[in-house]
Chains A and B, each alone.
Chain A
Amino acid sequence: MKTVKVYGPGCKRCETTELMVREAAAKLGIEVEIEKVFDPKSIAIAGVMSTPGISIDGKLVHAGGLPDAEKLDRWLSA
């Protein structure tokens, strides 16, 4: 079980990012719990300066723009 946080104020790209994480996890057969972080304060404290950002199990792996699908697979299976 991995905890994935998607950081973003709710823009379209943030939603797409969440969907990508869900799909990648389903494809890899990894169980994930996705938490969306909307609050700008929490986003900033997490160290994300450009949204959407992704952290997996507390580790920030991505910030700014849609993630690359191949990289997403790698982060999730790491």
Chain B
Amino acid sequence: MSADVSHPVRPVRRDWLWHAGVAALLAAWWVIYHQLIPVSEWVTTLFPVDRHSHTGEAIAFFFYDVPKVMLLLTLIVFAMGIVRSFFSPEKTRVLLSGKREGVGNVLSAGLGVLTPFCSCSAVPLFIGFVSAGVPLGVTFSFLIAAPMVNEVALVLLFGLVGWQVALTYLAFGLGIAIAAGFIIGKLRLEGWLQDWVRDIHSGANAPVMMDDERLTMVDRYKLGIEAVREIFGKVWIWIILGIGMGALIHGYVPEDLMVRIMGADAWWSVPAAVIMGIPMYTNAAGVIPIIEALLGKGAALGTVLAFMMSVIALSLPEMIILRQVLTLRLIAVFIGVVASGILAVGFLFNVIF
């Protein structure tokens, strides 16, 4: 069973088909993206409601935002899938091991964004890092940045709220990951790991992967497509529910109510938003459409961002997973430090904007 027999088509020609196909899809994407407004307006006219009524507003919002977000998500997740194919946790570990704190935290937060990561492998990754001599604080920078600053969150903020907010979120998300990791590192809490984690000695069990072939560009396309399929499978329902909820808020919730509850003058709204966010577990896809609608109704940017960061970065299920490697005390410190960072960002934004 030689590999040649099963592939009668010459690989070079097949590569060109792939490149052409990807280019054609990108062009199609661009064309469709620019037809969104007319199409959504047309769909809205199919409903027997006045376009300028509450219901009409809600319907137009829904049929414009759902396809827009889906399209943006497809493009960015595909692109990120390709970018991530250049990174792996193993390579990241090598880059980070033995790095000093400070520089290490910055590098680690950045790599957290670029390295493929799924919260289901948070524990093996944590142990893999710590046992290879990556300092605890640097490891935390990675674990905070990886879920918080992800392409889904950025795409949705960009598409629904605007690029300024997306960029700010990126900067402050990274900032919190760097600062929180740095502080946790300075506290020297290595003794608060579960005993067995400390017993795993670095180097002794770092098997080298034997399969380190170079990926071709076509392999990377395939990984990009795989990423789109996987993320879509996970988030499509959240996007529809989230935007549906957003549409309702958009159409019906009176503005003065929102300003009173989540406006900049209500100082307590920031801590309340952070606390509310911890037990809530949804991904960026579910929470951002709601955020857009809240912002549109006069909720303060800082409060809304704090809520979003808290929902994404401080999730109860992830704490439960991490409980296997961290003692409760260490988890408490982790939550405390990250929550303080989010609070600071929330208050800062409410003052600035």
**A interface residues with partner B (beta carbon < 8 Å):** 7-9, 11, 13, 28, 40-41, 43-51, 59-66, 70-71, 73-75, 77
- Taking a contact as CB atoms under 8 Å apart, the answer to whether A47 and B207 are in contact is yes
- Taking a contact as CB atoms under 8 Å apart, the answer to whether A40 and B117 are in contact is no
**B interface residues with partner A (beta carbon < 8 Å):** 1, 3, 88-90, 93, 116-118, 120-121, 123-129, 131, 196, 200, 205-207, 209-211, 223, 226, 230, 321, 324-325
Chain B binding surface SS class: helix
Q: Which of A9, A48, A61, A70 interacts with B3 by CB under 8 Å? A: A70
Chain A binding surface SS class: mixed
- Taking a contact as CB atoms under 8 Å apart, the answer to whether B324 and A49 are in contact is no
- Taking a contact as CB atoms under 8 Å apart, the answer to whether B128 and A49 are in contact is yes
Chain A residues positioned under 8 Å from B125 (CB to CB): 49-50
- Taking a contact as CB atoms under 8 Å apart, the answer to whether A40 and B209 are in contact is no
Q: Smallest distance from the beta carbon of B82 to chain A beta carbons, Å?
A: 14
- Taking a contact as CB atoms under 8 Å apart, the answer to whether B211 and A41 are in contact is no
> What would be 20 A-B contacts, judged by CB atoms less than 8 Å apart?
A11-B118, A13-B230, A40-B321, A40-B324, A43-B123, A45-B205, A47-B207, A48-B124, A49-B129, A50-B117, A50-B124, A50-B125, A51-B118, A51-B121, A62-B209, A62-B211, A63-B209, A64-B88, A66-B226, A77-B1
Residue of chain B at shortest CB distance from A62: B211
A13 and B88 alpha carbons, distance in the complex (Å): 17
Q: Smallest distance from the beta carbon of B318 to chain A beta carbons, Å?
A: 13
Chain B residues positioned under 8 Å from A73 (CB to CB): 1
A43 and B129 alpha carbons, distance in the complex (Å): 13
Chain B residues positioned under 8 Å from A59 (CB to CB): 207, 210
- Taking a contact as CB atoms under 8 Å apart, the answer to whether B210 and A44 are in contact is no
